[in-house]
A = this chain, B = another copy of it.
Amino acid sequence: MAADQLSATFSALADPTRRAILSRLAHGEATVNELAAPFEVSLQAVSKHLKVLEQAGLISRGRTRQWRPCRLEARPLAVVADWVSEYRQFWETGFDRLDEHLRQIQAAAKENDE
């Protein structure tokens, strides 16, 4: 396990099955069986993924009921959103540059047409 919380979150998110599980849980609580159904992996593999998500605080599991439904916990995702937003200016500048580049190409193409 990564020692710091943000590393643990990123590490848990670095797997398409785990991200698909979170996406499913965004629609409501689900049991391990329900979560495993759409994937071509064993229940055991899904249980492992759930353990990683739970340790990273991205899901919680019911304690009282036997089937222990899983539930999305979004707080670590808020931390990710906060972290990545620090870099917003860089991708926005990048896209602006691309836009400018496309405008120049279109302007040149139009000039050639005339």
Residues of A within 8 A of B (CB): 2, 4, 6-8, 10-11, 13-16, 19, 22-23, 26, 72, 74-75, 77-78, 80-81, 83-88, 90-91, 94-95
Decide if the interface of chain A is mainly helix, strand, loop or mixed.
helix
Whether the pair B13, A10 counts as a contact (CB closer than 8 A) is: yes
Query: Which of B78, B80, B86, B95 meets A26, CB within 8 Å?
Result: B86
Extra inter-chain contacts (9) besides given A10-B11, A74-B94, CB under 8 Å:
A7-B15, A11-B11, A26-B90, A74-B87, A74-B90, A74-B91, A78-B94, A80-B84, A81-B81
Residues of B with C-beta under 8 A to A13:
10
In the complex with contacts A7-B15, A11-B10, A84-B86 CB distance below 8 A: no
The reply to whether B10 and A10 form a contact with Cβ atoms under 8 Å apart is yes
A10's contact among B14, B72, B85, by CB below 8 Å, is which? Answer: B14
Q: Which residue of B lies closest to A58 (CB)?
A: B87
Listed residue (A7, A87, A95) with the most chain B CB atoms within 10 angstroms of its CB:
A87
Contact A84 B90 (CB under 8 A): no
